[in-house]
């Protein structure tokens, strides 16, 4: 029986050492080859590439030479950030499955894969735990002024009175609004349960009945914005969700509420958020993602005293990359055994 040929493209995130877990597939009559994407040698270039793909699409990124040179006879291609674009798809004559070991799959040309009946899978919850941990941390940091106090101490200042002094609350007294109740939103909710928060959820794309018995309240977007002390966004960015939080939504929030964005910058209208923070029409914000990265030195965020900023760190964890490979391996095991894969995207 002819072996199934698998090509894996390692990089500075999903390293060769981590990608070697794919060798487990050999027991299912697979031949596994690993090459390295020399351009994506570290997390800096990888983060830049991810932002480029999110903002401009798969055709904006260059072809990985190592992938192109080795893909012609492969049945399965496994990548992290290397692009599976039209050029790769045309060259990979035998391709049946494309696996992207990321939460998103912007580096794959979904339409071109679908047209050739090539299955696309990804690792949708690979960073869910890391982002959920970080999101709760951002809530607490903004509410309790942790980052601001840290910065001021380094500047030789001992501050005991902050702009939100009149609305610093214990988490147990707060209502938290979760917009998007997928892998990350559900994990944020689980972490907040220990604080005793009231949890409000808005997600028009899920069956609320599946969560009966859980201590969450499914409400309209208007109800969530009006009642939540924290509004945390966990949607996937698309044409429909671009600027999902805009001036209208910010005006519906409490004047003491905090907006948390650890998802995608495009989900929030940055100009509208700046205005809301400058005018004190909301209480504050905590932001990890930006329209331009690194954040420009003249960005209006940097003149505000009611925002906590971090440098796109939410998904950073030693466990994220390992988890992404584990998810990919398990789905490919299913494929090689003739079973349905769980994370098919087309």
CATH number of the domain within which 298 lies = 3.40.50.720
258: in domain: yes
Task: Decide if 126 is catalytic.
Answer: no
Three-state SS sequence of the chain: CCCEEEEEEECCCCCHHHHHHHHHHHHHCEEEEEEECCCCCCHHHHHHHHHHHHHHCHHHCCCCHHHHHHCCCCCEEEECCCCECHHHHHHCCCCCEEEECCCCCCCECHHHHHHCCCEEEECCCCCHHHHHHHHHHHHHHHHHCHHHHHHHHHCCCCCCCCCCHHHCCCHHHCEEEEECCCHHHHHHHHHHHHHCCEEEEECCCCCHHHHCCCCCEECCHHHHHHHCCEEEECCCCCCCCCCCECHHHHHHCCCCCEEEECCCHHHECHHHHHHHHHCCCCCEEEECCCCCCCCCCCCHHHHCCCEEECCCCCCCCHHHHHHHHHHHHHHHHHHHCCCCCCCECC
Residue range of the domain that includes 271: 128-309
Catalytic annotation, pick one of 24, 293, 326, 330: 293
The predicted structure's pLDDT at residue 139: 98
Q: What number is the average pLDDT over the span 271-283?
A: 98
The predicted structure's pLDDT at residue 121: 98
pLDDT tens digits, one per residue of 10-53? 999 999 999 999 999 999 999 999 999 999 999 889 989 988 99
345: in domain: no
346: in domain: no
Residues 134 and 219 reside in one and the same domain: yes
The predicted structure's pLDDT at residue 165: 97
Q: What number is the average pLDDT over the span 70-92?
A: 98
The predicted structure's pLDDT at residue 80: 97
Residues 54 and 175 reside in one and the same domain: no
Catalytic annotation, pick one of 80, 148, 187, 264: 264
Residues 226 and 193 reside in one and the same domain: yes
Residues 179 and 111 reside in one and the same domain: no
286: in domain: yes
On the question of pLDDT at 333 being above 90, the answer is: yes
Q: What number is the average pLDDT over the span 298-308?
A: 98
165: in domain: yes
pLDDT tens digits, one per residue of 170-182? 999 999 999 999 9
Number of domains in the chain: 2
343: in domain: no
Residues 210 and 288 reside in one and the same domain: yes
On the question of pLDDT at 1 being above 80, the answer is: no
Residues 174 and 220 reside in one and the same domain: yes
Residues 117 and 137 reside in one and the same domain: no
pTM: 0.81
The predicted structure's pLDDT at residue 238: 87
The predicted structure's pLDDT at residue 197: 96
Q: What number is the average pLDDT over the span 129-137?
A: 97
Task: Decide if 264 is catalytic.
Answer: yes
pLDDT tens digits, one per residue of 223-276? 999 999 999 999 988 899 999 999 999 999 999 999 999 999 999 999 999 999
pLDDT tens digits, one per residue of 150-176? 999 999 999 999 999 999 999 999 999
The predicted structure's pLDDT at residue 102: 93
Residues 180 and 205 reside in one and the same domain: yes
On the question of pLDDT at 67 being above 90, the answer is: yes
The predicted structure's pLDDT at residue 318: 85
36: in domain: yes
Residues 159 and 299 reside in one and the same domain: yes
The predicted structure's pLDDT at residue 213: 81
> How large a percentage of the chain has pLDDT more than 70?
100
Residues 8 and 102 reside in one and the same domain: yes
On the question of pLDDT at 306 being above 90, the answer is: yes
Residues 36 and 141 reside in one and the same domain: no
Residues 120 and 133 reside in one and the same domain: no
Task: Decide if 293 is catalytic.
Answer: yes
239: in domain: yes
Q: What number is the average pLDDT over the span 82-105?
A: 96
The predicted structure's pLDDT at residue 61: 95
């Amino acid at each position: 029986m002819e072996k199934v040929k698998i090509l894996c493209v390692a990089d500075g995130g999903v390293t060769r050492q981590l990608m070697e877990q794919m060798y487990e597939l050999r027991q299912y009559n697979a031949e596994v080859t690993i090459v390295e994407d020399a351009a994506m040698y570290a997390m800096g270039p990888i983060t830049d590439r991810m932002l480029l793909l999110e903002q401009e699409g798969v055709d904006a990124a260059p072809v990985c030479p190592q992938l192109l040179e080795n893909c012609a006879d492969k049945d399965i291609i496994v990548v992290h950030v290397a692009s599976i674009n039209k050029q790769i798809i045309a060259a990979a004559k035998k391709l049946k499955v494309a696996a992207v070991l990321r939460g998103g799959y912007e580096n794959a040309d979904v339409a071109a894969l679908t047209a050739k009946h090539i299955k696309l899978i990804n690792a949708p919850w690979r960073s869910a735990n890391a982002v959920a941990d970080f999101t709760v941390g951002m809530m607490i940091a903004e509410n309790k002024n942790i980052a601001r106090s840290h910065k001021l101490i380094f500047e030789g200042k001992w501050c005991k009175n902050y702009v939100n002094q009149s609305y610093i609350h214990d988490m147990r007294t707060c209502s938290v609004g979760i917009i998007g109740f997928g892998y990350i939103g559900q994990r944020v909710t689980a972490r907040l349960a220990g604080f005793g928060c009231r949890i409000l959820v808005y997600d028009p794309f899920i069956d609320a009945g599946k969560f009966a018995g859980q201590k969450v309240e499914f409400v309209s977007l208007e109800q969530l914005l009006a009642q939540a002390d924290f509004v945390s966004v966990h949607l996937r960015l698309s044409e429909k969700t671009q600027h999902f939080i805009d001036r209208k939504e910010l005006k519906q929030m409490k004047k003491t509420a905090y907006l948390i964005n650890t998802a995608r910058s495009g989900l929030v209208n940055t100009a509208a958020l700046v205005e809301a923070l400058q005018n004190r029409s909301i209480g504050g914000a905590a932001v990890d993602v930006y329209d331009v990265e690194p954040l420009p030195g003249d960005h209006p965020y940097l003149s505000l005293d009611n925002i906590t900023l971090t440098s796109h760190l939410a998904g950073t964890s030693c466990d994220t990359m390992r988890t992404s490979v584990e998810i990919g391996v398990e789905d490919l095991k299913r494929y090689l055994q003739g079973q349905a894969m769980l994370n098919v995207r087309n």
